[in-house]
Amino acid sequence: MSVAPGAIRDKIISYLQTCEGDASPAEIVKGISPRLGSVSSSSVRSYLSLNTPKTFSRTAPGRYRLNQPGFDTAHQLRLPVSSTTIGQATLVHTDCFDWLASQPAASVHAVVTDPPYGLVEYTTKETEKLRSGQGGIWRIPPSFDGHARSPLPRFTVLSDQDREALRTFFTKFGRLIERVLVPGANVVIASNPLLSHIVADALSLAGLELRGYIARQVMTMRGGDRPKNAHHEFEGVSVMPRSQWEPWVVLRKPLEGRVQDNLRKWKTGGFRRPNADQPFGDVIRSNPTPSAEKKIAPHPSLKPQAFMRQLVRGVLPLGEGIILDPFMGGGSTLAAANAIGYNSIGLEIDEGFYGLAADAIPQLASVIVKPA
């Protein structure tokens, strides 16, 4: 089946937007084929040739880059790097894209992170609105039974342009983490039912293998509401299902040889069992984050230690290696790693959240957890 020229054009541009530097026609074909099916290298070479120098620049014989200044809107901030060590955790105040680009290849054994789902909710503008209680993209729900409810990003308001920016962001992020991961490394990324398919697709395009999803089974107060301003007229209607689970996308860097070979050489390639008789499962029962933990780390996306410790323990099958959280937030991943005895690195671009995590990690790591 033939592919429309416009589709090839769009995917070439999208691929080069997410590249670090330039690419050859063969690399471009490999990068866009998973999304389009079979694409001939002659079609790619022809399009590149016809649109150079207007759209593309030839950096060397047979290599091209996108000739579009300012295309990278997802992260333009460059920060001076500062770091601190807490237990076995290293916290770094930096842009994760810069840090990942500077690290040696095959130096990280797993990634566990809760990234900005829609990119826009943690911009400086929206973060300031959140902290002041003004809302913005953050919906401040009404209290329920006398209890204040946590802010919730309104991902239903994202436009097609927002979703494409999300795909571009995670494709570039995926290429950066794929390079620093050892073969067989697990990547587990929190998402939500509205956007997890975009995250999974983008990271797969970046070279990681999609291995499924882990469901955090948790009852929340999100969703299930009646139509706005028509509650009584349509009292038997829920606009969306009440959320009772949270998807975590599971990916893996391709193995080097067999699983057993990878385990011997790189110490990873699977998940650590809870015990000899129980395999690691893809459904983890969880409660909402306890108020005591929220007081320690008042971050809007803080995950509970009871859940995080199960997840973090599982991603290193032999209990060896380094876990990376590129979007550290309140520090729950690093706190869980400290509680278990794993080495970890956390990256955070926001100065306020970086300081919050530094204060919170020792306290969260000492929390005594109860099973859900």
Please give the C-alpha separations between residue 223 and each of 132, 155, 218, 289, 321, in angstroms, as whole numbers: 24, 12, 13, 18, 39
Task: Read off φ and ψ for residue 187, nearest 5 degrees.
Answer: -125, 120
Buried b / exposed e along 31-42 (16+ C-beta atoms within 10 A): bbeebeeebeee
DSSP secondary structure string, 120-141? GGGSHHHHHHHHHT--TTEE-P
- Which pLDDT score is estimated for 123? 53
Residue segments in the chain with a per-residue pLDDT below the cut of 70: 1-7, 10, 17-21, 34-37, 68-80, 117-157, 221-223
- Which pLDDT score is estimated for 243? 81
Please, which residues have CB within 8 angstroms of residue 148's CB and are 6 or more apart in sequence? none
Pairing mode of beta strands 56-60, 63-66: antiparallel
- Which pLDDT score is estimated for 68? 52
- Which pLDDT score is estimated for 160? 80
Taken in order of first residue, the domains within the chain and their CATH numbers are 5-66 (1.10.10), 82-365 (3.40.50.150)
Tens digit of pLDDT for each residue in 279-315?
999 999 999 999 999 999 999 889 999 999 999 999 9
* Cβ neighbour number for residue 6 with a 10 Å cutoff: 8
- Which pLDDT score is estimated for 73? 38
* Angstrom distance (rounded) from CA 23 to CA 205: 15
- Residue 93 identity: H
- Which pLDDT score is estimated for 126? 55
Cis upstream peptide for 53 (omega within 30°):
yes
- Which pLDDT score is estimated for 133? 55
Which 8-state DSSP code applies to residue 232?
T
